[in-house]
Structure 1
C-alpha cells in the first residue's frame, strides 16, 4: 500500500474510532461493522470489499450529534421519533460525498437502514432497490447491536435472532452469507472479542491494495477538515470551532516565521485537537455553571483521548502531542501532563493561544462572549503564566479585532 493510501485508510479508522468513544470506553461499533461487512462483501461483491469497509467504518457519521451513541437507541420507535436518527443516513451520505475517494460508498451509507420489505428509512425502498452494500451494512449493524445483549449470545443464539429478521429486515441471501461467514473457523468468537477487533481492523488496513487512482494531498486535507467538522457537530456551540482554531493557528505560525510545511502540520493538528471531546458527556460540556471536581477530572481526559485517537494514524503520530497538549500552560499548571515552557512543543503553545482566543470570542454556555480586543487583553494578561509570551506578542498583532466566524472558516 502506498503511503498516501495508508494514511487515508488510517484516517478513516481513526475517525470511526473517535465516533465510537464513550467516557472511559470504546464501543468498537464501526470497527466491528466494517470488519464484518468487508468479510461478507468478499463473498458477494469482492471488487467492492474495500469500499464497504470504509462504508462500515463511517456508516453512522451522520448521527454524531446524538446525545448518546446509536447503539443505545434499540427501540425502533426512537428511530422514527427523533429527526437526527431518522435523517442520519442522508446526513452521513452528504458528508462522505465531499470526499472524492469515498463517492462509491455514498449509496451504501444512505441505504444502511432500509429494510428488505420497505419498512426502513429514510426512503422506504425495498428489495433489490436497496444497494447491495446497504443490505450488507444493515445486517452487520444488526449483528453488532445483538452482540451487546445480556447475557451474551453464543453463535446459535445469534443465528436464531438473525433468522427471525430474514425476509423483512434483510433478504434470505444476506442471512445465508452472514451465517456462512460467522461459521468460518473462530471468526464469531473473534469478531465479538474487543481485544481482537483492533487486530482485525489493522490486518485489513495492512492488506488493502493501492487504489487505482491513489489519493492526492487535497483528499487527505479534505478528510482532516471533515474530521474537524464531525468533532464540532457533537455540540451546537462548537460549530466551526476546529476550523477557526486551525485558521488562527496557521495565521500565528506563519507570522512566527515557521516553514510552510510546519504551518500545514500545525493546521492539521488544530483540526483534530478536540477529537477526544466526543467522549465527554454532553451534560459536562454544555454545563453553564462551574464544573465539580469530578466533572473537571472527566473533562481533563479529553486531550488524552485525542492522543489515543491520533496514535492510530502512523503518519500523524507526531501530531498527537501537539493536539493533545493544547491545554498545557506555560507555567506548568495545565493538563494532562503538567508540562511547562519549552517542554511543551511550540505547535501546542501556538494552539493554546488560538484555542483560547476562539473560545473567548465565541458564544459558550459557561462564559460571556468577548470581542477580539477583549480577548487579546486576556491573552496579554495571562502571557507568561498560561501562554507563551512570544506567541502572544505575535497573536495580538495578527488575530482579528472583530472575529467573523464565517470568514475564518472559509479561508
Structure 2
C-alpha cells in the first residue's frame, strides 16, 4: 500500500485507493439518507404538532440512546470486524426507514390519534439512535484501515467533506421532494438510498482487528474517555465543536423559520436547506488543494467564531436572501471546523482505541446536533424563536473566546503525522 502513497501535495492521493472510494460512497449515502429522513420527519412532525418543542423532541429521542450506549458501542467496535458491523447497521437503518415510510402513509395511520402517530415516530427515531451508537465509531475506525497513515489528513478532508455535503444536501433534497411529491413518497426514496452503502460495503474486504484486550470490562469501556481527557488537543477540539453545535443549532428550527419568519413554503425550505451545501462544496475544494497544516488550531477557533456570527445574522434576518447568505457562510465555516476536528482524531488516536475514542466523539460532538435541536426547541418556547437563535450564536462566540484563553494546546496545534 505504501508504494501507492502520494505526496502531501497531491489533493487526490486518498482517492487512488479503490476501497476508500467505496468508503466515501458509504459515508455520503449514510449521512445523506439519514439527514434527508430527519428533515422529512421534522416537516411531518411540524405539520402534526405545530410546536417547536415537538421538533426538539425528535433530536432528544435519538440522542438519548446514542449517548447512553456510546461507551459500550465503542468497546464492541474495537473488538469486532468493522466492515461486518457496519453492514448490520445499514440493514437496521433500512428497517427503521421502512417503518417511518409506513407512518407517513395516510392510509396506514388513518384513524390513529395524532399523538400516537407522533409517539411511534419518536420510538423509531429512538431505535435509530441505538443503531447510530454503533455506526459512528464503525465508520470512523474503518477509514484508518483503508489508507496509510501519511494520508490520514487527506482522507479525513475527503471523508469530512462527504459527510458535510451529505448532511446538508440530504435535507435540501428532502425539502424539494416534499414540495414535489409529498412526505410519504419522499420517505420511500430514503429507503432506496440506503441500498447504496449496502452495495459499497460488499466491495470492501473484511479488515484486521487491532484490539489487544488485557484490561477489565469497565476499564475498557472508560479507556476512550480517559484518553480524550488526557489528550488536551482532542478534548479541546471536541469541546469547541460540541458547544458550537449545541448552542448554534439554528438549522433544527428551519421549518418554523421558513413558515413563520420568512413566510415561504416547502420549496423555500428546500432552498434554505441546500444553501449550506454550497458552502460545504467550497470548503471541500479549497481544503483538498490547500490543507490546513499551518496553525490549524487558530483556524479551527476562527472558523467556529465565524460560524457563530452567521447564526446571529440568520436569527436576526427577516429576508430570504440574507438568510441564504448566512447559511451559505455557515456551511463554509462549519465545514472547516469539521475537517480539522476529524483530522485531529485520526492522527492522535491509537489504532486499538479508535472505536472507543470515536464513541466519545459521538457522545460529545455527534450528539450535540440533536441536543442542540432540543435546546433550540425548548428555548424557542421559553423566550421566543428569534431570541433563542441569537442567544445561541452569542454563546458560541463566548465559547471560542474562552477556548482561546484557556487552551494553549489548541493555539499551538500541529497536524503533522
The alignment's TM-score, normalised by the length of structure 2, stands at 0.23
Larger Rg computed on CA atoms: 1
Query: More helix per residue: 1 or 2?
Result: 2
Greater relative CO, 1 or 2 (CA 8 Å, sep 6+): 2
The alignment's TM-score, normalised by the length of structure 1, stands at 0.23
